[in-house]
Amino acid sequence: MSAHNIRRYTILLFLSALAVAQTAEQKTARYLDSIRNQPSLLLAFLHDIPKGGDLHNHLDGAIYAEDLIDFAADDNFCIDRTTSRLLGAPCDSCESYTPKPAIRCAYDDHILYSQIVDAWSMRNWRPGDESGHDHFFGTFDKFGPASHNHVAEGVASVINRAAREHVQYIEFMHTADGREAAQLGMRLGWDSDLGKMRDKLLSGGLKEITAATSKTLAEDESRARADLKCGTPDAEPGCGVTVRYLYQVLRGLPQAAVFAEIVLGFELASGDPHFVGLNLVMPEDWYVPIHDFNQHMAMLDYLHGVYPKVHISLHAGEIAMGLVKPEDLAFHIRASVERGHAERIGHGVDVMLEKDPIGLMKEMAARNVLVEINLTSNDQILGVSGDDHPLPIYMKYGVPVAISTDDEGVARSDMTHEYLRAVEGYHLSYADLKRMTRQSLEHSFLPGQSLWASTKDSFRPVPACATDVAEKPSHTCTAFLNANERAREQWKLEREFAKFEKRY
């Protein structure tokens, strides 16, 4: 053999050995890099990638308008033809463009049907007389009553969609009591002594509301699983999704109502395994959430002392320059972490307008506070996207982040397209995506220990499972997984990653 052929043969052997030595993860990463500029292939890749958990998902806002129309028709609602707002019976007939037809009339009137879908979502919204912010939040007042009697169907619809795009865990934000706690708080009246106010609520009917809420949610969960045929040979994909709930406090209500809902959230999360924490919702820039913000933090600070084991995630920083006064941009995220005891922050868009933003992000990294990243809604509501969004800055300073959907039905999005926005907008690597996905389960509020002994630089498993990840677990690891639900979900994710990466 000539010297030239020997060199050529040696190079081929080296390249062959190098290819064999590459891990499945490295090959998957190379494939992602090879399709970055091929949108169709990129979308298919991101559809199939395991996505772990969706930690920021409002149940009502996750339901697509088409399903909500069906729910409203089942309940015989009427529709205001001018505003697309649901109204109670009696309804006008379907003929002659009557002002208050039954919503079922839309099934035979494609113009009315399309109008309702557009009004109940961001579909076809264009900048004009109404801002994206106002249109987005205005949808809830239009379709709100449609979901009240259809929680089970809504859950089934959303988790089935999630399962098809490889989401395995969801924490739904849900005001599961139908505002009964808020009404109780208003009846009893406000007392600035928070201890006395809590006692008054618990002795005045909140314990009964807590029990009734748990019973109703358990029934809704059971109906959702029945709708999906879970436990039968015809079970639908959603049966494989693990679901938990955050009690959703409506912070735009009066103080007595907000405090009553917060107490209910703490009570539910203390005694009902369906509920793993609470969150405060409604637009951060509205008058009451701005005016009462410090009072809300005081409520959380006090109740955290009473219920120290209850998990808290808070909307904070879902505001932007021009939407509120500059001084209101300077402290909401920090206060939510330090006084509101938030373990996770939803949105966090205005972080660079906070006082000492770099110090704040270093503090969040040190406290291991995760930011729930909602790229589509941040663009639609705030007009913040691309280089204006702080996602890469959070990553730069070591703040854990996870992609989530927020209100996928209103936004006309899904988790796959949230991943697509992240990859296209920030050139995320496969390692970035895998870390974010792992963080979604690491920062879930599921009970039990983590599968990971360390997540700072690399995901290193606990000693009990040190040699088992993505393989058949040993007896020691099996015992650990059986005792820790969070670790079980993480183990499931690792197995899904292993299967996914074998394709490449």
DSSP-based three-state secondary structure for 344:
strand
pLDDT given for residue 7 in this prediction: 53
CA angle 240, 246, 249 (to 5 degrees): 150
In 3D, which of 171, 331, 344, 179 has the Cα closest to residue 249?
A: 179
- 412: phi > 0 → left, psi -120 to 50 → alpha, else beta; which? left
Beta-strand relationship, 452-454 and 460-461: antiparallel
Over the stretch 269-281, which tens digit does the pLDDT of each residue have? 999 999 999 999 9
Alpha carbons 101 and 109: distance in angstroms, whole number: 11
Q: What is the pLDDT of residue 8?
A: 56
**What residue ranges do the domains of the chain occupy?**
53-58+148-448, 69-130
* SS3 readout for 177-188: CCCHHHHHHHHH
Cα angle 90-94-99, degrees, rounded to a multiple of 5: 65
Q: In whole angstroms, give the CA distance from residue 121 to residue 125.
A: 8
pLDDT value of residue 96: 73
Match domain 53-58+148-448 to its CATH number in 3.90.226.10, 3.40.50.720, 3.10.20.30, 3.20.20.140: 3.20.20.140
- Alpha helices in 205-356, H assignment, sequence order: 207-227, 255-271, 287-291, 293-306, 332-338
How many angstroms separate the Cα of 81 from the Cα of each of 76, 111, 124, 307?
15, 11, 18, 47
Of the candidates 169, 193, 365, the residue with the CA atom closest to the CA atom of residue 276: 169
Query: Among 69, 51, 76, which Cα is nearest to 107's?
Result: 69
Q: What is the pLDDT of residues 63-74, one digit of tens each?
A: 999 999 999 999
Span between the terminal Cα atoms of the chain, in Å = 35
Helix (H) or strand (E) holding 462: none
Tell me the C-alpha distance between 482 and 488, whole Å.
Answer: 7
What does the pLDDT read at residue 497?
A: 97
- pLDDT number for residue 22: 77
| The predicted structure's pLDDT at residue 4 | 54
What residue ranges of the chain have pLDDT lower than 50?
Answer: 9-20
How many other CB atoms are found less than 10 A from the CB of residue 63? 27
For 492, half-sphere exposure in the C-beta direction (CA atoms, 13 angstrom radius) is 19
Contact 279, 173 (CB under 8 A): yes
pLDDT at 16: 44
- What's the alpha-carbon Rg for the chain, to the nearest Å? 24
Question: Percent helix, strand, coil in the chain (nearest 5)?
Answer: 55, 10, 30
Which pLDDT belongs to residue 17?
40
Structure confidence at residue 21 (pLDDT): 53
